[in-house]
Amino acid sequence: MAAVQTPRQRIANRLAIVAVIVTTIIFLAPIYWIATTAFKPRALATTVPPTVVFQPEITPFIKLFTKRVQLTQPVDEEVYEAAPWWEKRILDGGERVLRVGDSVQLSAYPDRFLNSLIIAVTSTLLAVSMGTLTAYGFSRFRVPGEQDWLFFILSTRMLPPVVVAIPMFLMYRAVGMTDTHLGLIILYTAFNLSFVVWLMKGFIDEIPREYEEAALVDGYTRMQAFFKIVLPEAATGIAATGVFCFIIAWNEYAFALMLTNRDAQTAPPFIPAQVGSGLTDWTTIAAGTFLFLLPVAIFTFLLRNHLLRGMSFGAIRK
C-alpha cells in the first residue's frame, strides 16, 4: 500500500511543483521571446506591452541572409513591381538589397555560422578525446602527485575568461594566430580540457577494474582493453561530456569577439551587430539567434538518452 501523506507533506509537494513550474517559465521565457520576435514585423518588436498576437512573417530571415542599405529615395513603381516577392519585403521596410550585377550579395551570417560549427565540433572532439585519455590515466594508474596535478588542471577554470582575455590577445597577436580557426580551436580545446578530465575521471572510476583485468588475462593489450572495454562502458559519460563541451564552445562570446574580426569570426559576436535603417534591428537579431539555437537543440535531442544516462552514471554505488 502506498504511504499516506501528511498534510504538511502534501503542501510541500505542491509547493515543489509550483517552484518547478515557475522555474521552467523563467528559463523558457527568453527562448519564447526570441522565437516570437524572429517572426514579428519590425514595428512590433519593441512594443510595450509586448504584442502576443500578430501575423508571422519571414522578413527577418530574409534580412539576415542579405546585405542591405537604407533607401535614400523612393523606389520607382516599375522597379518595385519587377522585384521578387522577398525583395519587396525589404523595400517595404525602407531598405534595398545590394547586388553585384544580377546576383544578390549575401550577408556574412552563413560564413559565421559555418565558422561556429567547424570550431565547436573540432574543439569538442579534441577536448573529449584528449581529456578521456588523461582521465583514464589518472583513474587506472598511480601518478606521482596525482592530487596536485588534478588540482592544477582544475585551477585553469578558476579564473573568468575576461581576466586572461588581454594576455591571450597579446600572445595570439605575437604568434600571428588572431582571426584564425586554429587559434580558437586550440583555445576552446584548452578551456574545455579540464572540464572533460574531471568529469570523465568520475565516469571511468565507476567502471570496475575487473573488466579490464579479465581482458588483459585473455591477451588484450592495455590499449585494446581501453578501446574495447572502457570506451563502450563510458559511452554515456562521453556523450554527456561532449554535449556540455559543444554548448560551451558554441556559445562562447568574449574570446571570439576579441580574437576574431572577419575570417574566423563566429556567430555570437556577429549576431548583435545587425543594424537596419540606422537602428538596431531586433527582429533580424532574433532570427539569427533562433537559427543559432537549432544545432545545439538538435544535438542535445539526438543524444538525450545518452545524456540522461550519463548524468545519472555512477549515482548508485556499490
Instruction: Summarize pLDDT for 229-282 with one digit per residue, the tens.
Output: 889 888 888 988 999 899 999 999 989 999 998 899 999 999 887 765 557 888
41: Cβ–Cβ under 8 A, 6 or more apart, which residues? 54, 55, 57, 59, 283
Q: What does the pLDDT look like over 108-159, one tens digit per residue?
A: 899 999 999 999 999 999 999 999 999 999 988 888 888 888 888 888 888 7
Backbone angles phi, psi at 32, to 5 degrees: -60, -45
**Is residue 2 in a domain?**
no
- Report the predicted TM-score, pTM, of the whole model to 2 decimal places: 0.86
Q: How far apart are CA 58 and CA 87, in angstroms?
A: 12
**Is residue 210 in a domain?**
yes
The residue range of the domain holding 24 is 7-37
**Is residue 52 in a domain?**
no
- For residues 120 and 249, is the Cβ–Cβ distance under 8 A? yes
Q: How many domains does the chain have?
A: 3
Query: Are 173 and 245 found together in one domain?
Result: yes
Query: Are 186 and 306 found together in one domain?
Result: yes
Query: Are 201 and 236 found together in one domain?
Result: yes
Query: Are 15 and 98 found together in one domain?
Result: no
Query: Are 119 and 89 found together in one domain?
Result: no
Query: Are 137 and 250 found together in one domain?
Result: yes
By percentage, how much of the chain surpasses pLDDT 70? 93
**Is residue 48 in a domain?**
no
Q: What does the pLDDT look like over 31-84, one tens digit per residue?
A: 999 999 999 988 888 888 888 888 999 999 999 999 888 888 888 888 888 888
Query: Are 71 and 131 found together in one domain?
Result: no
Copy the grid coordinates of residue 102.
Answer: 544580377
Query: Are 136 and 222 found together in one domain?
Result: yes
Of the chain, the end-to-end C-alpha distance in Å amounts to 29
258-275 residues labelled b (16+ CB within 10 A) or e (exposed): bbbeeebbbbbbbbeebe
